[in-house]
């Protein structure tokens, strides 16, 4: 016989569960954003682009380079930031900015002030951010969007859980198959004439402005024919259904941008004498260090990007339909040398086998990634640890960036002695270079969307090789080796002396995180 009190308790609990389920469903599925018009964007015509100041500069720079694109590497964080500020000030018609995340700090506040100033003088500003990367920034972005010449859109958005990262992750759970995928693209296009592609998001740690730790990163400046397809890639994302106006999720008064601009102006004035901004002014005045854009290398360029609908695909796509697949096809087989520079390196079983085959066939294969002590994601490092011995046995050279370096250099890391690698680049033989947003890991191949440029230019390849050689120096990195007994060692240099560690450098919690990353079923998701 059923106990009526017990039965009543079950019924009450059932009603509560039903009510909570209904509430959750309404929050996750029924909380549509405020109706906001969503205009279709279009490319600037060649004539419109060429009529701008930047367009004329590009035309003069490429006058004797018919059909070729120009390229320059930008490794200095301060120079990378200064160039973005300069482009914001020099643009006449349009600034298109695509980024995975936007932080709050010195560099972001100054850039937002400059973007509003550009909008005030009639420049059309369009900012596209991955929704996860916009967590906690909704009201400020909505205020920015309220300017008549500014549009802000978020990619792969959710209507709830937008104020905190924890809330966003919990709200993602019912759509986990799609919400673990990110728009990881980074693009900065000015007047359809000049584009920056690479690893840098919007945040102090990407521009050597963070204390105590910064990312060592790399941009590729491009001009000429390759810019048009990069602009086209931006528009494909901008016009895709996954890109939604920020106003559908965060409300702002029509004139909210005025208050935002006023607060940014006050903040910039109050911080004008900060060491970072003082260094920037000195950088502009120091003509002996050369221009922000160094020597241009010329050659053929191929813009590569993932289809914008990739985050909504079911399951894992065929390799040929991804940017990684197109990169493999266009780059061709290395015959002499392959260098991989990647913040996160997870080659997997097939990638490891391919790299081993190349090394055993006589191709010089080098990998430069983060050490355990330097990485910001020890879980990913664990998946790399599993493949390390097999790579070393086949002759692949492994270098791992240290967390603390003994010198700073404008050509590679800096702003502080603590750094982590964030570069994503390939060097193939002595004439091909790829720089972009993807890491050498399954997440970049299968789950995220990415963008990059493959350049055929011996001069650019030589510059990247010199940069990598600096990064691999013992004062900055470990060389990982394996002896006849299979034991690993980490060789580096401290105070001018060669030092060898028999245990991988890194603290307890990092080791624990890496141990979790060695779980086999996690590898395809990292």
Kindly write down the DSSP assignment for every residue of 266-278, as one continuous string.
HHHHHTTTSHHHH
Q: Considering 68, 147, 186, 472, which one is annotated as catalytic?
A: 186
186 flagged as catalytic: yes
Contact 89, 121 (CB under 8 A): no
Q: Is 206 left (phi over 0), alpha (psi -120 to 50) or beta?
A: alpha
Q: Considering 147, 184, 250, 310, which one is annotated as catalytic?
A: 184
Kindly write down the DSSP assignment for every residue of 325-378, as one continuous string.
HHHHHHH---SSEEEEEESSB--HHHHHHHHHHHHHTT-EEEEEEE-TTT-S-H
- Copy the structure tokens of residue 83: 């160039």
Q: HEC profile for 457-474?
A: CHHHHHHHHHHHHHHCCC
297 flagged as catalytic: no
Long-range contacts of 455-458 (CB under 8 A, 24+ apart): 455/69, 455/71, 455/220, 455/226, 455/297, 455/299, 455/300, 455/301, 455/302, 456/299, 456/300, 456/301, 456/431, 456/432, 457/71, 457/297, 457/298, 457/299, 457/300, 457/431, 457/433, 458/299, 458/430, 458/431
Long-range contacts of 4-7 (CB under 8 A, 24+ apart): none
40 flagged as catalytic: no
184 flagged as catalytic: yes
Q: Considering 68, 240, 297, 424, which one is annotated as catalytic?
A: 424
Burial class (CB in 10 A: 0-12, 13-18, 19+), 7: exposed
Give kind and range of the element (H or E) at residue 501. Answer: strand 497-501
Q: Considering 297, 429, 441, 472, which one is annotated as catalytic?
A: 429
250 flagged as catalytic: no
Residues 6+ apart with CB under 8 A from 97: 125, 126, 127, 128, 187, 188, 189, 202
254 flagged as catalytic: no
- Copy the structure tokens of residue 366: 């080098």
Q: Considering 79, 92, 145, 191, which one is annotated as catalytic?
A: 191
- Copy the structure tokens of residue 411: 């050509």
Q: Considering 147, 297, 310, 422, which one is annotated as catalytic?
A: 422
Residues 6+ apart with CB under 8 A from 443: 344, 346, 525, 526
Q: Among 298, 336, 273, 267, which Cα is nearest to 463's?
A: 298
Give catalytic residue positions: 184, 186, 191, 422, 424, 429
């Amino acid at each position: 016989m059923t106990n009526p009190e017990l039965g009543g308790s079950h019924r009450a609990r059932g009603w509560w569960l039903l009510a909570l389920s209904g509430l959750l469903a309404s929050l996750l599925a029924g909380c549509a954003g405020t109706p906001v018009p969503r205009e279709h964007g279009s490319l600037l015509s060649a004539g419109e682009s060429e009529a701008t100041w930047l367009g004329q500069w590009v035309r003069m720079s490429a006058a004797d380079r018919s059909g070729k694109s120009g390229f320059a590497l930008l490794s200095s964080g301060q120079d990378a930031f200064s160039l973005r500020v300069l482009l914001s000030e020099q643009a006449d018609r349009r600034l298109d900015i695509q980024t995975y995340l936007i932080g709050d700090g010195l560099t972001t506040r100054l850039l937002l002030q400059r973007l509003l100033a550009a909008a005030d003088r009639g420049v059309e500003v369009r900012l596209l951010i991955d929704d996860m990367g916009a967590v906690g920034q909704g009201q400020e972005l909505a205020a920015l969007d309220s300017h008549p010449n500014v549009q802000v859109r978020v990619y792969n958005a959710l209507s709830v859980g937008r104020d905190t990262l924890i809330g966003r992750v919990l709200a993602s759970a019912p759509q986990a198959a799609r919400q673990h995928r990110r728009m990881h693209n980074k693009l900065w296009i000015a007047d359809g004439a000049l584009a920056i592609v690479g690893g840098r998001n919007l945040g102090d740690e990407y521009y050597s402005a963070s204390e105590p730790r910064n990312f060592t990163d790399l941009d590729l400046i491009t001009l000429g024919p390759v810019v048009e397809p990069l602009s086209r890639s931006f528009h494909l994302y901008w016009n895709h259904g996954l890109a939604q106006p920020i106003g559908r999720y965060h409300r702002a008064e029509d004139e909210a941008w005025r208050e935002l601009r006023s607060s940014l102006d006050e903040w910039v004035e109050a911080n004008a004498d900060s060491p970072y901004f003082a260094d920037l002014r000195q950088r502009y005045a120091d003509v002996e260090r050369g221009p922000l854009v160094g020597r241009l290398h010329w050659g053929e360029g191929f813009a590569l990007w993932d289809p914008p609908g990739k985050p909504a695909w079911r399951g894992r796509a065929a390799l040929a339909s991804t940017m990684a697949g197109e990169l493999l096809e266009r780059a061709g087989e290395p015959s002499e040398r392959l260098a991989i520079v990647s913040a996160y390196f997870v080659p997997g079983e097939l990638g490891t086998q391919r790299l081993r085959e190349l090394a055993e066939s006589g191709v010089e294969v080098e990998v430069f990634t983060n050490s355990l002590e330097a990485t910001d994601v020890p879980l990913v490092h664990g998946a790399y640890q599993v493949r390390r011995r097999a790579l070393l046995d086949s002759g692949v050279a492994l270098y791992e960036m240290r967390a603390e370096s003994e010198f700073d250099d404008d050509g590679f890391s800096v702003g502080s002695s603590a750094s982590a690698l964030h570069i994503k680049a390939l060097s193939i033989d002595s004439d091909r270079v790829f720089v972009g947003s993807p890491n050498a890991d399954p997440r970049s191949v299968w789950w995220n969307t990415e963008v990059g440029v493959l350049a055929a230019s011996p001069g650019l390849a030589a510059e990247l090789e010199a940069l990598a050689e600096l990064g691999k120096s013992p004062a900055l990195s470990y060389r990982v080796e394996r002896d006849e007994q299979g034991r690993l060692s980490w060789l580096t240099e401290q105070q001018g002396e060669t030092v060898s560690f028999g245990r991988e450098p890194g603290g307890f919690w990092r080791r624990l995180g890496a141990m979790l990353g060695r779980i086999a079923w996690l590898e395809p998701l990292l």
